[in-house]
Copies of this chain bind each other. A is one copy, B any other.
């Protein structure tokens, strides 16, 4: 699995707490990876026993203490090893497509609502990617002194944008099809006749 390796990659830029890492997930790579806080804390603990990272508690003056993790040499090595492994092919699980597959069993009106909600979700993502995320990439590439990395970050953003556009187009295509083909002659839907 990739969570420990995603964490290694982020800690590599600079030492961080679990809380920091959650934030980084949220405003940088959340559109192709995310993790809940408890999951992150648990994974960090496992990584420490593996010897990939070490922690150091910084007493917070006034603020809560910070348990800051940094990479060990073993962690560095493991991260590079993982990077060089060929990519895993994802096995997608899309409940929405399961609903589409069985959509005959529901009123056409309801199915349209589903499609519109899905479309709206991806339209929202697309807007976010094109506005916010592009800006965040610039910001981070300065903060982490990683301007050479930025082109790869933009590549992942480009993936997100293409994905969102694809889904939006598919939704439009599906909605069009329903308009013309699936409407019963009398204009009422299949499950609420009369």
A: residues with CB less than 8 A from B are 1-2, 5-6, 9, 12, 29, 31-34, 79-80, 83-84, 86-106, 110, 113-114, 117-118, 121, 146, 148-149, 151-153, 155-156, 158-159, 162-163, 166, 169-170, 173-174, 177, 181-182
Contacts and interface: CB of A to CB of B under 8 A. Distances in A.
B2 A95 contact: yes
Given A6-B98, A166-B166, 11 more contacts: A5-B98, A9-B98, A29-B101, A83-B110, A87-B99, A88-B95, A104-B152, A151-B181, A155-B174, A155-B177, A159-B170
A117 B163 CA distance: 19
Nearest to A148: B104
B83 A102 contact: yes
A106 B93 contact: no
Given A158-B173, A162-B166, A106 B94 contact: no
Contacts of A104: 146, 148-149, 152
A97 B156 contact: yes
Interface of A is mostly: helix
A171 to B, nearest CB: 10
B34 A91 contact: yes
B95 A83 contact: no
* 10 interchain residue pairs of minimum CB distance: A32-B97, A87-B96, A2-B95, A32-B94, A9-B102, A104-B149, A103-B152, A166-B166, A83-B106, A88-B95
14 contacts: A5-B95, A33-B94, A34-B93, A79-B102, A83-B99, A83-B110, A86-B114, A87-B96, A87-B99, A90-B94, A101-B152, A104-B148, A155-B177, A163-B166
A180 B162 CA distance: 21
Contacts of A92: 31-33, 90, 92
Output the residue of A79, A98, A148, A162 with the most chain B CB within 10 A.
A98
